[in-house]
Structure 1
Amino acid sequence: MPLKVLYVCAEIFPLLKTGGLADVSAALPPALRAQKQDVRLLLPAFPAIAAGVKPEGPVIPLPTAGMAGLPAGVGPDPLTAGGPPPTLRAGRITGSRLPVWLLHAPGLYEQPGNPYLDPEGRPWANSAERFAWLGWAAALLGIGALPTPAANGQPAWQPDVVHGHDWHTGLAFAYLQALRAPGLPRPATVFTIHNLAYQGVFAGEARHRLGLPDHLFRMQGLEFHGHLSFMKAGLQFSDAITTVSPTYAREITGEEQGCGLDGVLRERRHRLHGILNGVDDAVWNPAADPLVQPGFDAEHLDGKAQAKALLQKQMKLRPKPDALLFAVVSRLTEQKGLHLLPGVVDDLVARGGQLVVLGTGDAQIEQALLHASQRHPGRVAVHVGYDEALSHRVIAGADVILLPSRFEPCGLTQLYGLRYGTLPLVRAVGGLADTVTDCALENLHDGSASGFVFQGLNEHDLRQAIRRAFALHHRPADWRAVQHHAMSLRFDWARAATAYRQVYAQAMAEAGHGTASA
């Protein structure tokens, strides 16, 4: 029998994307469904998401504390919705036909743009309420407290597993804990960390209006230095925890990468799993990418040379086929290590290289890179902002993709680079360490090299890695061999889906459902 999985998240490509979470949400559910699992998404009805969902079935009002047999004092106060009481409605995403539950709350989700930050770059004032209601809807679906309609004589849909992603879904697990009743079945729960640095921390007093009982607000619960942590709720109250690479799973149990929650993660280490993300071949495939024409593959790289020429023309770089073209497609933040980049640009250009940057973020990093482009016209180009189509063209046309991250849970950009023969230059952290093998002599000899890896978060180590990239580029046969190997690597979602099914089976055993079929 297929597992029924409720997949809870805040964004999904192509409807709404701020980072890699949206790409994962677009790819993992279809991969699970391809393996005959019954996966349905729960999404907040932000305008961009609602516009891409075709509704089906009736509107279902969300009950609150004391209604429909629910205990008093558990669940958000209806007044916190800032408008009419929230409702749920089934639907399907246009194009992919993925089945979804869409959570409507006009007072919470009607603002367009970034789901987490207002136009001034500050967290929305109602962020706690926005995502508490998402967690509440997940918990109600999880315990079968909503009259989800039956279809074709089948019983109403109730998940075997509730799978929440990042802090936005953390309260689902706290609410499920508060709604537990002895002897009654409950869903297994899986919580995935995409980035531990973003934790959803709010004033402790918020628990009262969010309907979180006092007995959950403790050190072994969701209390975090006197505050309420959505992330900690997910870590404490889930049956299994996953994150998006094996190395990051190890790193976050230590103080340096644990962001204050390393103690919790060490205590729950036996439930923590690292599963690498994948690449959606329907979106990132150089042979069939509609944004990169003509296409190319490892045996036919003329299209990549044309992509480089077109990128140089579009970004007003000098039309030099032999210039080693470095690229950045990223948030311009210290987390991504990009505070180091301005300090090495002059050396990169002096060696004959070019640089194109696509991203937005820290104003100081943006300005430093813009100044570099003014110092080096035709050799450095910066596009402040984000453009999905341009990101494909940059990754296809560049020779090297830069990811000098301070920390990186998984990273998808280096995987895209490998797929497109754009060799990643990365710092040895998280998923970058798991997916890129340095062009050291022994790795060149055995054919395992796929990029350039450095250790220290400093300009010296980054500069040395850039020097190695130039050195390899001066050896065309070796460059081509590494490029060929990089393009042969596959980080597919079928592998990841199989690993998640194994975690679901473990979580079901922890929840008392016996051994589930994986």
Structure 2
Amino acid sequence: MNKKRLLFASSEVYPFVKTGGLADVSHSLPKALNEMYDVSVVLPLYSQIDRSRFSLTLLNTFEIMMGGVSYTIELHGTSYEGVEYRFIYAPILCDRDYLYGPPESGYEDNGIRFGLFSHAITQLLRIDSYAIAHLNDWQCALAALFVKEDPSVKTKIVYTIHNLAYQGVFPPSVMGQIGLNERYFTMDALEFYDQVNFMKAGIAYADAVTTVSPTYAKEILTAEFGCGLEGFLHLHRRKLRGIVNGIDSDHFSPSTDKALVAPYKTLKGKKASKNDLLKQFGLKGAAKPLLVFIGRFTHQKGMDVLIETLPKIAELECNIALLGEGEEAHFESLEKIAKEYKNVSLQFGYDESIAHRMYAAADFLLMPSLFEPCGLNQMIAFAYGAVPVVNKVGGLADTVKKFESYDAESPSGFGIVFTSATPKTFFTAVKKGCDLYADKKHFESIVNHNMKCNYSWSESAKAYDSIYKKLIK
């Protein structure tokens, strides 16, 4: 039986290029879907991608006329882990020092860059016959509109919102620059407080809209989490659905992880990793619980709460290791605390292999996020035997159950769950974790249970498959 063709479009995909969780999802989900569909993944061929390492070959060139300017597009391809990849190259899109712009900013011409990327995605749908195009985040959203404008393209469109906080908002002048008719500059289409909002194109013109957890799908319909789009999303709520992400169980497996000093299958095997990481971070006391934070130093990740609470946490009998990058002011505050407390260690800059070693070493993972569409870190922590300490929002609410209700028969993982991220609630949760750690038998039961749970993409892929099937039946 011939599998239906699926084009999965994303602005970043691991291992080619990565700035955040979107890259992990855009690698793992297509791999899982490839069991059911003939999947091709398309992304920009940024200058950061190692062409020789991944054996890229030039497949085609074509011209795109956009805003009165002709752009030459190169289409490159390769195969990786059984999935076909297509890369869009144009100098204006790809030849940059950063994917989207320097830290905490964006290139002024990102509207033109990713408008061109969406045009190129649409051109691929004209060249080849795809049953489904799955578009991700604002960088691909305009392709939903371009497809609706072209009756020759019969492809059904699924659009996924990974983080509503990043919508791709640009000045009205971008309309002419990317060849958009002024009739789309309305509240029902792309207009957003006198600006142009790319994400609205995906929401309005896709056949189905998903986001990355059921709780987040409900949250974004409210003023608290809707980022100004709650009313617009409410209009389109009938086609909105939340599907929890998974993790790539090949990539995140402590028993086969090459980044670890000693791969392991059970809680006992974590000891070598913990000793190794304590040494690397200059910390002492393997008997103490090790608390780690891995992620961006940003407001969303609860950095204000973490910074305010950290000195008080450091007074507990524990070690704390932090890894990440982001806002300079947050880093400076963390650095000051790390200098004051010998049991706090900080490393600036994201490193994938160090992150893996931290999951393997950790007893607890700290996630005081103010909002979290899904979150992958908590599921990685489960797999590696670290107990997540989480604020009950978004995907964290869907994936982490309170340890007080521990049930050995549950398919879910258990952690320390608190409601409303404040210094007081966060500290209370961390203190609970340290008390749980002291109760060795109970702690080990929870960790061993968490490590056995299934966090793979298989169930999520089935949920996406059901959406695709309804569209192409």
TM-score category (smaller protein): over 0.9
CA distance in 1, matches of 2:121, 2:233: 24
Conservation of the 8 A alpha-carbon contact between 1:287 and 1:296: yes
* 1:321-340 aligned within 5 A: 321-340=286-305
Give deviations 1:125-151, integer Å, cap 9, x for gaps: 221111011100111222x2x3xxxxx
Matched, 1:78 2:77: no
Of all paired residues, the percent bearing the same amino acid is 32
2:445 is the counterpart of 1:493: no
Mark the runs of 5 or more structure 1 residues left unpaired by the alignment: 65-74, 80-84, 147-156, 509-514
Q: How does 1:277-356 map to 2 (within 5 A)?
A: 277-298=245-266, 301-318=267-284, 320-356=285-321
Among candidates 177, 184, 192, match of residue 209 of structure 1 = 177
Tell me what 1:99 maps to. 84
Contact 2:373/2:395 (8 A) holds in 1: yes
Asked whether the equivalents of residues 108 and 126 of structure 1 are also in contact (C-alpha less than 8 Å), the reply is: no
Residue number in structure 1 paired with 2:99: 115
Deviation at 1:57, TM superposition (A): 5.6
Higher strand share: 2
What amino acid is aligned across from residue 88 of structure 1 in structure 2? E
Shift of 1:342: 2.0
Q: Which of the numbers 118, 124, 127 marks the counterpart of 1:141?
A: 124
CA RMSD of superposed structures (Å): 1.7
What secondary structure, in the 3-state scheme, does the structure 1 residue paired with 2:360 have? helix
Q: Check 1:53–1:61 CA distance in 2 against 1; reply closer, same or farther (3 A cut).
A: farther
> Matches of 2:468 and 2:321 in 1, distance apart?
42
Q: Which residue of 2 aligns with 1:161?
A: 132
Q: Who is 1:170 aligned against?
A: 141
| In 2: Cα distance, 1:486 partner to 1:401 partner | 13
> Which stretch shows the higher mean deviation, 402-411 or 346-355?
346-355
Q: Post-superposition shift, 1:107?
A: 2.9
Query: Is 2:378 the partner of 1:414?
Result: yes
> Any idea what SS the aligned residue of 2:414 has?
coil
Which structure has the larger Rg over C-alpha atoms?
1
Partners of 1:445 and 1:435 lie apart in 2 by 16
Which of 171, 196, 211 is the matching residue for 1:228? Answer: 196
Q: TM-score, normalised by structure 2?
A: 0.95
Which of 75, 85, 88 matches 1:89? 75
Separation of aligned partners in 2, 1:253 and 1:235? 13
Q: CA deviation at 1:219?
A: 1.2
Residues paired across the two proteins, number: 470
* TM-aligned CA deviation for residue 446 of structure 1: 7.5
In the TM superposition, residue 121 of structure 1 has moved relative to its aligned partner by 4.3
1:497 alignment partner AA: A
Distance 1:291 1:443 in 2: 31
Partner of 2:395: 431
CA distance in 1, matches of 2:163, 2:144: 18
CA distance in 1, matches of 2:449, 2:456: 16
| In 2: Cα distance, 1:390 partner to 1:63 partner | 42
Match of 1:4 in 2: 5
Match of 2:42, as an amino acid?
A: L
* 1:118-173 per-position Cα deviation (integer Å, ceiling 9, x unaligned): 3x64211221111011100111222x2x3xxxxxxxxxx31111111000001111
Please state if 1:443 is matched with 2:406: yes
Q: 1:14: which partner in 2?
A: 15
Change (3 A) 1:220 1:380: same
Q: CA deviation at 1:343?
A: 2.0
Q: Distance in 2 between matches of 1:49 and 1:223?
A: 34
Q: Deviations over 1:223-247 (max 9, x none)?
A: 1111111111111110000111111
TM-fit CA distance, 1:445? 8.5
